[in-house]
Structure 1
Amino acid sequence: MDKQTIPEMDEGGFDPGIMETAGYSATAIKFCNEQPNRGVLSDADQVSEVAGPCGDSITVYLRIREGKVDRAKALVSGCPGAVASAMAAMELVKGKTLTEALAIEEKDIVRMLEYLPDEKQDCIQLSAKALHKAVEEYVVAGPSFKKRE
């Protein structure tokens, strides 16, 4: 199903029944609707944005302390697959060294979500790309990176 077939609910979430019918796992639905890692970090050391070919976009906020990702948040504009994938990627990266963060692969996101419909694999790729871009830009810019306003 494409993102137009899963309408947003009035309270800002996606309909879990429709998502389940579309093939999302219960874990993916939970990540999508609860969005535990959604938001902006005002004290982020790195802010990076990636847009996918389908129109979805992910902005990643990372706070790095002592060489590890201390906090990670994301803002996502897109379908349920993009939201769930980004939330899972942010969960995976917490507590990781920068090297470990770069080693997070698409399969790790899939494993955390348990299952996304096959046509949502691009969402997983976008989330991994957004995470890697943020870490790589931090490594290049270093701790003196000036946060975007």
Structure 2
Amino acid sequence: MKNEIYSEIILDLYKNPPNKGELGNPEIYADGGNPSCGDQVKFYLIIKNNTIQDIKFQGHGCAISIAAESLLTDMVKGKTINQTKKITSNDLFKELGNIIQTRIKCALLGYSVLQKAIEEYEKAGNKKIEIKNIVI
């Protein structure tokens, strides 16, 4: 099973992704994509007292991309901005399971867009931001 492209975890998250949807009036809106494969993601974050109170995502792409984005939203919901910044790509891979080398960029799309969005939110003085067309 380790050598299969899509593990059961990935397929379950792809078919039934938690936190998929939109949030109205988010503190952070960010979208981005991977031009080499066409995967796209949008994140909506509600932040109160420096904590991610709620997060939703929308996107289209392969099962690995959607599963990783869904898993990432679960990993950061309820975390502070600082805790979120400390989440590494390795933390994500531990949760997802083995990803073959050629699909790593798929798994990192959401992670890269979210980390860039958090970075820009802090640069803006923790004020509402909208970031579009982040390319990985």
- TM-score, normalised to structure 2's length? 0.83
Task: Structure 2: state its 5+ residue gaps.
Answer: 132-136
Please tell me whether Structure 1 or Structure 2 has the larger radius of gyration of its CA atoms.
1
Report the residue type matching 1:62 in the other structure.
L
SS of corresponding position for 1:110: helix
Aligned pairs for 1:1-149 (under 5 A) are 22-53=4-35, 54-145=37-128
Q: Give the % identical residues.
A: 27
Q: Judge conservation of contact 2:26–2:128 (CA < 8 Å) in 1.
A: no
Distance apart, 1:23 and its partner CA: 2.6
Task: Count how many residue pairs are aligned between Structure 1 and Structure 2.
Answer: 129
Separation in 1, partners of 2:67, 2:43: 14
Q: Judge conservation of contact 1:24–1:115 (CA < 8 Å) in 2.
A: no
Q: Deviations over 1:74-95 (max 9, x none)?
A: 1112111110111111111111
- TM-score, normalised to structure 1's length? 0.77
Report the residue type matching 1:41 in the other structure.
L
- Which structure carries more relative contact order (alpha carbon 8 Å, separation 6+)? 2
